[in-house]
Structures are given as structure tokens and as C-alpha cells.
Copies of this chain bind each other. A is one copy, B any other.
Amino acid sequence: MTHQAGIGLGVDFSVLAADPTDSAALVAGDVTLGDDRGLDDVLAFAKAHDVVTFDHEHVPEPVLRAVEEAGGLLRPGRDALRFAQDKLRMRTRMAELDAPSPRWRAVTTLDHVASFAEETGWPVVLKASRGGYDGKGVWVVDGPEEAREVVDRAAAEEVPLLVEEKVAFSRELAVQVARSPHGQVAVYPVVETVQRGGICHEVIAPAPDLPEAKALRAQQLAIEIAQALDVTGVLAVELFETADDVVVNELAMRPHNSGHWSIEGARTSQFEQHLRAVLNLPLGSPRTNAPYTVMANLLGGEDPDVYRRYLHVMAKDPEVKVHFYGKGVRPGRKIGHVTVMGDDYQDLLERARDAASYLRGEQQ
């Protein structure tokens, strides 16, 4: 999706991919095969290009440091990225910024977890500080027995843990902000993300019936975080909506699933915006193209032949936009998404869900 945006901008765009079947490697014109987390390959790639950005947070910090020390230009830079790579650092920094956050604590033993839960009540949320993605590395635990399992495994794998209170939220929100090296920012409308099993299923842009004060608060928070962390590119801030506020849940420093709606739904998609920021170009308008845009993720189902099924989806609803990522189909894996725009978000949600569930093989 970033390559699609790069084509329009007329920029030379290269991909460092671990495997020729990686989504980006399938479609980009200039692909370097190599270890996208390994020092030698990332360093060589950075030296051969003017600027390097990322579509995941898993490049180890020592690799990033070596690239920057060798004069490679990373956007976002290592100093910003570490807050998206490490949840302990992120929570510490959010506390310094006074950003609304759940209560949390770094924990290494079951006793730590139990004493935290005495203050907040069970259940609590245990999180691996590093390596999480799509609900992996996050465990909602109801009591000490469940917590023990997580703590023991984390100790065995030497993964630092933190515990967070389970926020009493009414729904989950997200907001994207783009920031350029000049410090120019462009913020998108706050969206609602509908999660099931820790995985985002749908996004409604903008979040229906969100009070303006909360929307402004979320956008302002995103801008403040982007500035404080010196982010270059797109920052996605995932939030909980509570009775009278919003609470920071997670950060991602790249175009994020919660912003895919913007490909059709905004004047400037998050992918184009990320490239513009990373290339130090003026940012584009985040204005919406319709009153509502709904995105639904396509998750792989039992039927691996999802591609044939999309004829039906296209025929049934010619306004549904289907995006496939060229990935092999595995149950639960995000293999694409659909987008639909219009005036009535409930109608759009129904149509997007219908298309996604048909593609997943839940309807015959």
C-alpha cells in the first residue's frame, strides 16, 4: 500500500524484504532480498538509499543504532522508535508527559502482579514489553493461577513484563497523526476500532457520536505525543474511551491497520502521508471524502481459496473496495481488507462485515 502511494508521488521506492513472497516484495519494482532485522543487510540497504522507514517495529535497537552511527537516515529515528518497540519505555514516557494512561507497573514475579491487582482488582492485563503484535504478547488474567503461567513463561524467555489495570472502557478508538521533520503535523479524525479476541475487525471513521471534547482531546494527545517523541512519519495512537476521558493504550510509528480506511476515505491516505513526512515533503490534507468510511479486515478462514470468493463479493456490492495483500491464507491471519464509504455508518458496517465474512468462508 505504501508502494501504491509512492507511485503517485513519483519517488524511487525500494523494499528490503526477507522473502520474495512478502507482500511488499510481490509488488514493488525494486526489491532487495535480505534479513530485515539483521545488521549487515539493513546497514547495506540504508547506505544505498537516501532515507529508510519501516512497516513493522521489529528491527532491533542495536541495528538501528549502528545504521544511525554509520550516517544512515532513519525516519522515524531510533530515539522515537524505541517507544513503539518497548512498552515499558512507552509507559514511562507517557507518565512523564502526563498522558492519560492506565495504572501500570513493571513486574518480574507473581507477587508483584498480585500486589498490583490488590490495588486495581482482577482481572489485570499482562503485557510483554517487546515483540507484541495483534494481541500477541497481551494476556488478560483473572487471577493468580492464570498470571503464574504468563510470568513463568516470560521469565523463561527473558521477556520483561508489565502489568496494567483493565480499563473500564466503552469502546476502543484510534487516531493517526503525521509529523514531518519540520514539525508540521496533520491529524486525522478519531476512529472507532472494533476488536474481537485482541484483533481489530472493523474501523469506523470517524467514530460515531464521539463527543467533540473527547475527539479534540484525542487529537491533541496524538499531536503532543508525536512532538514529544520527535516522531517522523505516521504515529497511530490506540486509545480507550472511558466515561469522561480517553486513555492511551498502544502506539505504532508507521501506517497502521486503524488508518487503512484513509486510502479511499481521506484526501491523503496514511501511506501517502507517511511518505510525505518521511521524505520531508509538505503534508497533505487529511480531510475525509465521505461522512463515514468503514473498513473491515479480511481474516483468513478455513477455505484457502479466498480469491475465487471475491467475485461474489464484487458482484453483490459494487461499492465495496477489496484490498488483498498477496499473503497466503491462514486462519486468523490478516490477508486484506474491504472499505466502503457513505452516509449511514450502520449500513456501511453491515456491508463491510458481510463482505469480510463471506470472504472468510463463513457464508456459503
Q: Hey, which bits of chain A sit against chain B, CB under 8 A?
A: 1, 3-4, 6-10, 13, 25-29, 31, 186, 264, 267-268, 276, 281-285, 287, 289-290, 307, 310-311, 314-315, 318-319, 321-326, 336, 341
Contacts and interface: CB of A to CB of B under 8 A. Distances in A.
A89 B250 CA distance: 64
B7 A27 contact: yes
B287 A289 contact: no
- Chain A interface helix/strand/loop/mixed: mixed
B267 A8 contact: no
Nearest to A279: B311
A128 to B, nearest CB: 32
Among A4, A289, A311, A325, residue most surrounded by chain B Cβ atoms (within 10 Å): A4
Contacts of A326: 10
A318 B268 contact: yes
Contact of A311 (B13, B268, B282): B282
A322 B8 contact: yes
Among A31, A268, A318, residue most surrounded by chain B Cβ atoms (within 10 Å): A318
A13 B325 CA distance: 14
B9 A3 contact: no
13 contacts: A1-B7, A6-B27, A8-B321, A10-B324, A25-B29, A264-B289, A267-B319, A281-B314, A282-B314, A282-B315, A283-B314, A283-B318, A284-B314
Contact of A3 (B7, B268, B281, B310): B7
A9 B287 CA distance: 25
A310 B318 CA distance: 35
Contact of A27 (B29, B314, B315): B29
Contacts of A267: 264, 318-319, 321, 341
Contact of A287 (B6, B283, B319): B319
Among A27, A282, A319, residue most surrounded by chain B Cβ atoms (within 10 Å): A27
Given A10-B307, A10-B324, A314-B282, A341 B289 contact: yes
